[in-house]
């Protein structure tokens, strides 16, 4: 433990994976860490995400893994390489949490639960001296104390009234704007803007989209999965994106893992053009030529719906989608129908509200930070997790980058404190 940190005190604001990892990195260097969170307990969004099975990371090789971060690959690559999926799994094993790789390549705790992992982690953090302050909502800097000095005086709204507390450094890990009832309410955006810290507008990511269904489709088929299907869509960069999986038809439109994987491409297309039309392949296992041959085969007295079910297995919600999108004339034209089955044009008009999204895009851009994730306009203030301007699909990529950026910010804050200590020692000996 370095004696230079004996009197140093750091605030970590936000008790999600990024904040807790930053706290662990700092505590391991002997820094006194105080974690503040507006909620009654930490890790609420983390626990909610684990209810369907705690997908912690992914087992694919590092190059395609890093490619999941799209436009921010260059900025996230060094962070993830410093705490890659294998390192994350080893860290979990150190907590006593065993993991396994699922059939999709996703990595899960053996018990599929988030709560035991969080309990073990919090126990270790408390053993390391980390202190937790719940129902403490950060509401800004103390104007009377300034903010450009070596210390950060921060204001918190607490059950006992507002408090102003001073720290040598601070790590912000307040999340984005999705699931605000669990704490990520983006209240930090105007606070950062007040200090002239740039913030890219927060947008929904890993989200559903509206399709303006007819009442019949909403009432009869909402909530039903559509699988297997494939989606083709040309992005604003003119790159054609093709993916296969499953989607969920909702009262308002479409969601599900396949939609989430393409949500950034769909969202950006809507922003550019006002709408995005995806080509939905309802039978991805059959080539177009086979579908045309089967659909145009003479059907005698059978209805087209019965014919489709018998020849290529189209029925239920897939048949309903064909009726929803196609005119009666197109549905009755076997050749046009066959081509539509392989590329049904579904028009998506808008993303669902950001509060419903799994995650958000936007936030503090990396260009406003140094290589240690310190905000250049606020020396001693670091940023991690979903507050940063990046996005990734589900599948463990989100959590991995949150852990990795939290570790980087915590290490960056420790390095910053070490530099301050050296400067103080030099001044004292001068």
Average pLDDT, the chain: 94
292 and 323 co-located in one domain: yes
Which residues share a beta bridge with 208? none
For residue 1, pLDDT beyond 60: no
pLDDT in tens, 217-236: 999 999 999 999 999 999 99
98 and 238 co-located in one domain: no
Going by C-beta distance under 8 Å and a sequence separation of 6 or more, which residues neighbour residue 139? Answer: 155, 156, 157, 162, 187, 191
178 and 277 co-located in one domain: no
For residue 25, pLDDT beyond 70: yes
138 and 38 co-located in one domain: yes
Residue-level pLDDT at 355:
93
Residue-level pLDDT at 7:
76
15 and 151 co-located in one domain: yes
The pTM (predicted TM-score) of the whole model is 0.91
For residue 148, pLDDT beyond 50: no
CA distance 76 to 164: 34
Is residue 418 within 8 Å of 169, Cβ to Cβ? no
Rounded to an integer, the average pLDDT of 309-331 is: 96
199 and 214 co-located in one domain: no
State the pLDDT confidence band at 52, using cuts at 50, 70 and 90: confident
How does 213-231 read in b/e, with b if 16+ C-beta sit within 10 Å? beeebbeebeeeebbebbb
113 and 243 co-located in one domain: no
Look-up of token digits 């997908």: 55
Residue-level pLDDT at 83:
98
> With 0-12 CB in 10 A as exposed, 13-18 as middle and 19+ as buried, what is 197?
buried
Residue of 123 and 4 predicted with greater confidence: 123
pLDDT in tens, 386-401: 999 999 998 999 999 9
State the pLDDT confidence band at 145, using cuts at 50, 70 and 90: low
Final residue of a structural domain among 299, 322, 351: 351
For residue 29, pLDDT beyond 50: yes
Q: Three-state SS across the chain?
A: CCHHHCCCEEEEECCCHHHHHHHHHHHCCCCEEEEEECCCCCCHHHHHHHHHCCCCEECCCHHHHHHCCHHHHHHHHHHHHHCCHHHHHHHHHHCCCCEEECCCCEEEECCCCCHHHHHHHHHHHHHCCCEEEECCEEEEECHHHCCCCCCEEEEEEECCEEEEEEECEEEECCCCCCCHHHCCCCCHHHHHHHCCCCCEEEEEECCCEECCCCHHHHHHHCCCEEEEEEEEEECCCCCEEEEEEEEEECCCEEECHHHHHCHHHHHHHHHHHCCEEEEEECCCCCCHHHHHHHHCCCCCCCCHHHHHHHHHCCCHHHHHHHHHHCCHHHHHCHHHHHHHHHCEEEEECEECCHHHCCEEEEEECHHHECCCCEECCCCCEEECHHHECCCCCCCCHHHHHHHHHHHHHHHHHHHHHHHHHHHHHHHHHC
Residue-level pLDDT at 147:
43
Final residue of a structural domain among 310, 329, 351: 351
Q: How many domains does the chain have?
A: 2
Domain containing residue 135: 3-204+359-429
Look-up of token digits 């250049």: 376
29 and 131 co-located in one domain: yes
Rounded to an integer, the average pLDDT of 57-76 is: 96
State the pLDDT confidence band at 14, using cuts at 50, 70 and 90: very high
CATH number at residue 120: 3.50.50.60
240 and 258 co-located in one domain: yes
151 and 11 co-located in one domain: yes
Residue-level pLDDT at 158:
97
> With 0-12 CB in 10 A as exposed, 13-18 as middle and 19+ as buried, what is 47?
middle
181 and 267 co-located in one domain: no
| Torsion of the alpha carbons at 159, 163, 167 and 170, rounded to the nearest 10 | 50
279 and 368 co-located in one domain: no
Going by C-beta distance under 8 Å and a sequence separation of 6 or more, which residues neighbour residue 51? Answer: 114
Residue-level pLDDT at 3:
43
State the pLDDT confidence band at 429, using cuts at 50, 70 and 90: confident
Final residue of a structural domain among 302, 319, 351: 351
């Amino acid at each position: 433990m370095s004696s230079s940190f004996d009197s140093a005190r750091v605030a970590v604001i936000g008790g999600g994976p990024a904040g807790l990892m930053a706290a662990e990195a700092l505590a391991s260097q002997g820094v006194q860490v105080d974690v503040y969170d507006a909620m009654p307990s930490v890790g609420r969004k983390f626990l909610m995400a684990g209810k369907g099975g705690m997908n912690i990371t992914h087992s694919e090789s590092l190059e395609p893994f890093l490619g999941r971060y799209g436009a921010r690959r260059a900025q996230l690559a060094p962070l993830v390489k410093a705490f890659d999926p294998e390192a994350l799994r080893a860290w979990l094993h150190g907590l006593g949490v065993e993991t396994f790789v699922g059939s999709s390549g996703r990595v899960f705790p053996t018990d599929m639960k988030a709560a035991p992992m969080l309990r073990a982690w919090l126990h270790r953090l408390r053993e390391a001296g980390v202190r937790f302050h719940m129902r403490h909502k950060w509401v800004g800097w103390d104007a009377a104390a300034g903010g450009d000095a070596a210390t950060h005086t921060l204001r918190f709204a607490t059950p006992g009234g507002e408090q102003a507390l001073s720290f040598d450094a601070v790590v912000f890990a307040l999340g984005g704007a999705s699931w605000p009832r669990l704490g990520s309410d983006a209240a930090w955006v105007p606070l950062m803007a007040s200090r002239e810290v740039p913030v890219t507008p927060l947008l929904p990511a890993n989200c559903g989209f509206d399709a303006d269904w007819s009442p019949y489709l909403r009432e009869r088929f909402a909530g039903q999965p559509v699988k297997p299907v494939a989606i083709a869509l040309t992005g604003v960069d003119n790159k054609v994106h093709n993916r296969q999986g499953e989607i969920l038809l909702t009262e308002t439109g479409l969601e599900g893992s396949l939609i989430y994987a393409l949500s950034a491409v769909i969202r950006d297309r809507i922003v550019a053009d006002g709408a995005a039309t995806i080509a939905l392949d309802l039978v991805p296992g059959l080539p177009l030529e086979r579908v045309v041959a089967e659909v145009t085969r003479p059907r005698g007295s059978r209805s087209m719906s019965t014919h489709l079910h018998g020849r290529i297995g189209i029925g239920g919600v897939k048949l309903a989608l064909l009726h929803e999108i196609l005119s009666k004339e197109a549905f009755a034209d076997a050749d046009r129908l066959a081509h539509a089955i392989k590329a049904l044009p579904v028009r998506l008009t808008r993303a669902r509200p950001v509060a419903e999204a799994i995650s958000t895009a936007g936030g503090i851009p990396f260009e406003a930070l140094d290589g240690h994730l310190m905000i250049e306009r606020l020396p001693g203030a670091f940023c991690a997790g979903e507050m940063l301007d990046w996005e990734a699909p589900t599948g463990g990529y989100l959590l991995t980058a949150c852990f990795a950026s939290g570790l980087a910010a915590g290490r960056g804050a420790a390095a910053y404190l070490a530099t301050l200590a050296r400067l103080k020692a030099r001044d004292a000996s001068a």
